[in-house]
Structure 1
Amino acid sequence: MTEKLLRTRPLPPEAHTGRPWRIHEIAPDFRLEDVWALPTPGGPDDLPRLVRLMTDRDDDREFPLPYRVLFAIRWWLGSLLGLDDEDDGLGERVPSIRDRLPADLRDTTGPGFTNVPFDAVYLTEDEYVAEIANRTVHGLMHVGWVADDAADGGYCAQMAVLVKPNGVLGEAYLTFIKPFRYLVVYPALLRTIAKIWARGNEVAA
């Protein structure tokens, strides 16, 4: 199953927009950028475990070298051009979407990432959302836990990226990085998540 998922192309937008996710009502002004199936076959209650495995990554050496080099260049350019200054982040240039949460989601933050600047927004039994903001974009990462049609009674994750570009600069930035996302970032991310998930299943067993 993992190898099959790793060979797939991005999912159609309807794989995200056609489901009754809470994020639709919370962030209707964000546009959907990507949807991918994650190689995480599991049971109906496994989303919290996946979130822990994804977020608690102090060491990025599991990721392929091209992935690490690309992100090192991105953070270097961000520092050089001032793209990631504090006054362009959450609570400064844009408010966090946590400010929009309905009462039943305000105490469901979930774990935050240890190695990338994403802040957790909420975690439910089938949704996890984290956000990031800089000078170019306000972005959301949505991980949904869905029934897997290819596995009888099984489940897997879908990852959607939603964005609100910051004007012309943001649109230009998203256009520039799109080839790198598809050629380097997502393939490496899928392979690494597959290894992390498989290792986590072995430990749990």
Structure 2
Amino acid sequence: MKTILVVDDEPGIVQIARDYLDRAGFRVLTADDGPGALRLARTEHPHLLVLDLMLPGMDGLDVTRALRQDQATRKLPIIMLTARVEEADRLIGLELGADDYMTKPFSPRELVARVRAVLRRTEDTPPPAALIQIGALSIDLERRVVRRNGIAIELTATEFDLLAVLAREPGRPFTRSQLLDIVFDLTYAGYDRTVDAHIKNLRRKIQPDPAGLQYIVTVYGVGYKCLEL
């Protein structure tokens, strides 16, 4: 049974999330502040964290930042909840490493669907095959490991999936909508900037020298493609 940690300071939201996730077959833990979220994430090792942005003691962005800096929790999938509608808040969360986000009020059924989708992305193992080599970058699809010049690069599950989709078909442009559909397993109306935020993180990790070889190329007016060598 998968364990989901739900963190929100609104008891009604926590209760409805707990009820629906419990009915869906998940074990549910809850916390109502940032320090409690960190403590449970580090001691209970949940499979996924549903995290409110606005929390007492320590907000969701600080919690995400702390988790991503800790070796034991840096790959914990995170779905961020926010009552804010500003795009900047959403993108900051994604840039810090959140895998998905939902704006409150939200459908509890959609929350369950998002949880399942993120868990699938985290757990799916591509068929054995494969090692893709692009310049100094090697992508092991079976082990989900990326190396540059032999040195492993830490990627989130979403970042790896984006890179794998692009690298499997180098030179082929993918629209943002296609990447949302393939990688996120859900239809996002108007959420193209979600892809941009994850691509920005991915580029920063795999091509730290902006003047060097660009593994992911922007196709203006279309989307992105992987460099074809």
TM-score by length of 1: 0.24
Looking at both structures, which has the greater relative contact order when contacts are Cα pairs under 8 Å and sequence separation is at least 6? 1
Question: Which is higher, the Rg of structure 1 or of structure 2?
Answer: 2
